Amino acid sequence: MKRRGDIEGLRAVAVLFVLAFHAAVPGLGGGFVGVDVFFVISGFLITGLIVRDLEARTFSLADFYARRARRILPAAGIVLLVTAVAAWLLLPPLRVADVAADVFTAALYVVNWRFVAAQTDYLAADRDPSPLLHFWSLAVEEQFYLVWAPLLLVAAFLARRHVRKAVGLVAALVTAGSLALCLTWDGPAAYLASPTRAWQFGVGALAALYVTRLGRLPQAVLGTAGALALAWSLTISESGYPGWSALAPTLGTAAIIAFRSPFTPLLSLPWMRAMGRLSFSWYLWHWPVLVLAEAVAGTQSWPVKLVLVLAAALPAWLTLRLVENPVRFSAVVAALPRRGLAVGTAAMTVPLTASLLLGGATAPGREAVTTAALATGNPAAEAPTVDAAAARSDYPPSNGCEVELTATTSPSCLFGTGKDRIVLIGDSHAGQWFSMARRLAERRGWTLEVLTKPGCPLPALSVVDPRLGREYRECTAWREHALARLERESPPRLVLLASLSAYASAKEITKGWDTTLARLQRLGAPLVYLRDTPLPGIDVPTCLSGGERCDFPRSTGLRPDPLADQIAAGKRPGMWRLDVSELICPSGPACPAARDGVVLYRDDSHLTDTLVRRLAPRLERDLEDLDLIPTVL
């Protein structure tokens, strides 16, 4: 297939979109659609090559995958290897362990599914971004072609003399099916999964198959419309994407490729073509450079981010000149498919090995720091050690009671067989108190009922969930179901409620509490509110694993809690509050991350279960003193 300069220039547009998005350049918030542009271009070029060889009866799967290996894997392998080494040198051990897993799955081109699982899991969703997050798109592309090439080969074999028609039918069916999934799936899977992105390759494939027929249509008008649609895509919100809005950049890109317009010569300018040739390596390098730089120096302003992603052009150029082009255009490697496959295997094996070594380097000994070291900066000080690695997985043993992202009901989470019961209700900031609530119930022969949903405020608020990228309708449905369940059941002896206090403004939160508390108070049981605990705003175990001082400012950690303040002022009759803020964060300018050998947080906002167990006797005494529960000796 003849090299088209305008498509090389379109690659430049795609990578500039992505760079602008990741640099947070104002007004270019839709730059993430640059990945969609890459997908359409890929579908157009690769399908065109496959169909040409199928029609000539020269297509070979071994040769196809050898070409893919030469084109993609060496440059990607270099970036993975360098990122692994840089992470080992620059990041705290616990984050290094995360990067090791990312390198491993990225080298196998399944990292998109790892990110789907991590972003769906509320226990991991708030961790720092991976320097390899952008490898999801490479994983999607390689998964697509792993299926696409054999599928077209089978279609051509069955069709015999009607190869183009058969391939067109397959492309149409795959595109329609994938688009249907794209429009129905929610959350991270919709964005990162290969089944929901395959239709964009399919659109490019259809353009390649029918580009000659499309030539009869008004070229300038449709090409210009495509360019305008792509430009408009820069205004698209990431919320709820891809969905219907992905049609604009996808069809716009296909139109730019298929129809010549006044913009076509601009894309073919020499400097645009040169940037397009650099685009693959530049895409690979820019995100690790940005993430690792911010991990060392902290979050930067958009001009600094822009400088960083532009500076990534230097390692990208070196990779293009020293790795990508020499391997891709090597006559020796291209002579036999097995040589290209061997190069690709080596390019995968090296980062796979590095990831295993990297994971082994984060030994527990590097993750143990001392309380005294945190307080004084003296690593030799005598003090109990805290295990940062253990703290990260120090969850309440509530056996799945904190329901998943898309659930709208809670299972029957009952602990104990007593006639009387305590109810624990709220979001994950309520769920963190499970061990304390269970202690109260067990010591009195009562039953504990748990109704908790992470990321779902107990006050009646409408929130947008960042993992779903849309209004969290499941939260509203779950809250209604939980309250209706309590209204149907026998009255509890005590209701413990808690919720993150940072979902909305104080006025909105107060209004939301009015609605929820009106229903809870009709249950006739004492309502005890657990004031929201101090929020570190940093991943505490990861920070501690690097031996850093991980205290956080009291002024930002102790956020206002409207409901707690109203109860304290006597404005919520029939309600009581429990407040452990002073125990967790004694008076002073900073709140500690660890005390008395205990890591206080398992992430950036939730208490470790070890700390909750330590606090449980104190909270039990407070409830006894308030005469809300019988005293047990």
Mean pLDDT over each residue of the chain, to the nearest integer? 90
As a whole number, mean pLDDT of residues 347-353 equals 94
Residue 149 has pLDDT above 80, yes or no: yes
Cβ distance 567 to 576 under 8 Å? yes
From residue 363, give the alpha-carbon distance in Å to each of 50, 52, 94, 112.
48, 53, 10, 27
Contact 19, 284 (CB under 8 A): no
C-alpha to C-alpha distance for 540 and 608, rounded to whole angstroms: 11
Residue 220 belongs to what H/E stretch? helix 219-232
Q: Is 122 a residue whose pLDDT tops 80? A: no
Over residues 236-269, the pLDDT tens digits come to: 988 778 989 999 999 999 999 999 888 899 999 9
Place of tokens 């969905």: 243
pLDDT of residue 413: 94
pLDDT band at 1 (very low <50, low <70, confident <90, very high): low
Exposure string over 48-60, b if 16+ CB within 10 A, otherwise e? bebbebbeeeebe
Which tens digits make up the pLDDT trace of 128-144? 889 999 999 999 999 99
- The yes-or-no verdict on residue 466 having pLDDT over 90 is no
Domains of the chain listed by start with CATH number: 5-358 (no CATH), 389-624 (3.40.50.1110)
Distance CA 445, CA 74 (A): 64
* pLDDT of the residue at 363: 43
DSSP state of 155: H
Question: What pLDDT digit, counting tens, does each position of 388-423 carry?
Answer: 889 998 999 998 898 888 889 999 999 999 999 999
Least confidently predicted of 44-48, 116-120, 123-127, 521-525: 123-127
Residue 374 has pLDDT above 50, yes or no: no
Cα separation, 544 vs 536, whole angstroms: 13
Specify the pTM: 0.87
Model confidence over 564-595: pLDDT tens digits?
999 999 999 989 999 999 899 988 889 999 98
Q: Residue 381 above 60 pLDDT?
A: no
Residue 503: closest CA among 460, 566, 474: 460
**pLDDT for residue 161:** 82
Whether the CB-CB separation of 471 and 424 falls below 8 Å is answered with no
Q: Is the pLDDT of residue 370 over 80?
A: no
414 strand-pairing partners = 449
Contacts 24+ apart (CB under 8 A), 390-395: 390/599, 391/540, 391/541, 391/544, 391/599, 391/601, 391/602, 391/608, 391/610, 392/94, 392/541, 392/542, 392/602, 392/603, 393/602, 394/599, 394/602, 394/608, 394/609, 394/610, 395/123, 395/602, 395/609
DSSP-derived letter for residue 414 is E
Q: Which two tokens stand for residue 575?
A: 């309600």
For residue 67, what are the CA distances in angstroms to 50, 60, 137, 566?
A: 12, 11, 19, 67
CA dihedral (82, 86, 88, 93) positive or negative: negative
Cβ neighbour number for residue 400 with a 10 Å cutoff: 10
State the burial class of residue 239 (Cβ atoms within 10 Å of its Cβ: 0-12, 13-18, 19+): middle
